[in-house]
Structure 1
Amino acid sequence: MKDLKVKNYLFQAIDRTIMETILDKETAKGIWDSMKQKYQGSTKVKRAQLQALRREFEILGMKEGEKVNEYFSRTLTIANKMKAHGERMEQLVIIEKILRSMTSKYDYVVCSIEESNNLTTMTIDELQRSLLVHEQRMIGHSSGSGEEQVLKVALED
């Protein structure tokens, strides 16, 4: 009876496409073992995946024209995948990676952040907030003041 209950819970939690591959299993343990083998992977596979993620993290850099939020999202996605594979990812490592891989238009901002903050106590959220403020300022400066915008529109007409 317990086995039947557990099988029922498993069937409710498993996607239909995956369920088709385990319907032949007679016990909850059989289902569990099959799923574990298919999706958890062996130690060698995990190590290989972690190596690929490390490489991806190493070569990661902000793309020209990429927004701060987009770059943080890409970086944190890789870092979280690495954590899920057993890598110990300190905030400092992620912060330093982001700072050294920003595009050159952020050089003065990065220098300012490194000089005025203790990176060992800074959080990723604080870094992101600081970079977002600078990004907004750069967007504001590149689009000009309100008077300049009115003049540009008037000249275009």
Structure 2
Amino acid sequence: MSRKSNFHANLPILNGKNWDTWVKQMKGIFIVQEVDEQVNTILDPLPANPTNQQRTTFKEAQKKDNKSLFLIHQCVDAKVFEKIAYSTTSKEAWDILHKSYGGDAKVKKVKLQTLKRQYELLQMKNDEAVAYYFTRLATLTNQMKNCGSNLAEQETVEKLRTLTPKFDHIVVTIEDTKNLSEVKIEGLQSTLEAHKLKHGDLIH
């Protein structure tokens, strides 16, 4: 019983609202479990009068498909499971979930417009920690990419101009001494946090 509990605890669970994150995590699990092709492959039935080799190949494919379907079952909550309860293959279940929660092109286009507006207006708050602001920035850019945005990292780095005035000096220094096209967002965050610590303004 404890094994089963631990198994569940380490798996991502689709609740209907976290599709973009969940699907990335599931693809990683499928690769580790060596069943990543199954959710995109139709399981062909055995032909009439199959050879021993065909039987063996079919049995192996069916085994992998059952494994990937089992993983999907373990990684959805009770409400989502009802949508795929009668699916007989992993591809059938995967396609249902994608259609239900993945969103079509029109929906993503509208959502992306809203996210772009939020991105344009994003500003660091006066009492906001550097780490928290960069988390908000990363979350927003990831959401945009999930909706089809091709936002370049340089554009994200250039958001340093949205920091509060107390960072004006370090921002000017960074822009004067570094090629922003070569700066990584993680390095920028580290530089800013080091600047705060050096000037006695503790990071929250």
Range class of TM-score, shorter chain? 0.7 to 0.9
Q: Percent identity at matched positions?
A: 35
Report the equivalent of 1:101: 162
- Pairing of 1:95-134 with structure 2 (within 5 A): 95-97=157-159, 99-134=160-195
Query: 115-124 vs 131-140, which deviates more?
Result: 131-140
> Does structure 1 residue 16 correspond to structure 2 residue 78?
yes
Aligned counterpart, 1:138: 199
Quote how far apart the aligned CAs of 1:18 are.
Answer: 1.2
In structure 2, the residue matched to 1:150 is none
User: Are 2:157 and 2:185, in contact at CA under 8 Å, matched by a contact in 1?
Assistant: yes
Query: Relative to 1, partners in 2 of residues 1:121 and 1:9: Cα closer, same or farther, differing over 3 Å?
Result: closer
Residue deviations 1:86-142 (CA, integer Å, cap 9, x gap): 211211100001x1100111111111111111111111122111111111123359x
Alpha-carbon contact 2:83-2:96 (below 8 Å) kept: no
* Residue 71 of structure 1, CA deviation: 0.7
Deviation at 1:33, TM superposition (A): 2.8
- Asked whether the equivalents of residues 115 and 144 of structure 2 are also in contact (C-alpha less than 8 Å), the reply is yes
Match of 1:84 in 2: 146
The residue aligned with 1:152 is: none
Which letter maps to 2:95?
A: D
| Secondary structure, counterpart of 1:58 in structure 2 | helix
**Cα gap change, 1:115/1:10 in structure 2, threshold over 3 Å: closer, same or farther?**
same
- From the superposition, tell whether residues 130 and 15 of structure 1 become closer, same or farther in structure 2 (CA, over 3 Å): same
Spell out, residue by residue over 1:27-85, the C-alpha distance to the aligned partner (whole angstroms, 9 max, x if none).
33443332111111111111111111111111101001111111111101111111222
State the SS of the aligned residue for 1:8: helix
Give the TM-score, by structure 1 length. 0.78
Distance in 2 between residues matched to 1:82 and 1:112, nearest whole Å: 29
Aligned length: 139
Listed as ranges, the gaps of 5+ residues in structure 1 are 142-157
Which residue identity lines up with residue 64 of structure 1 in the other structure?
A: N
1:45 to 88, 107, 113: 107
Structure 1 residue matching 2:84: 3-state secondary structure: coil
Q: CA deviation at 1:20?
A: 2.5
Give unmatched runs, 5+ long, in structure 2. Answer: 1-58
Which amino acid in 1 is paired with 2:148?
Answer: G
Task: Output the amino acid matched with 2:170.
Answer: V
For 1:16 and 1:37, how far apart are their aligned partners in 2? 18
Q: TM-score, normalised by structure 2?
A: 0.61
Partner of 1:75: 137
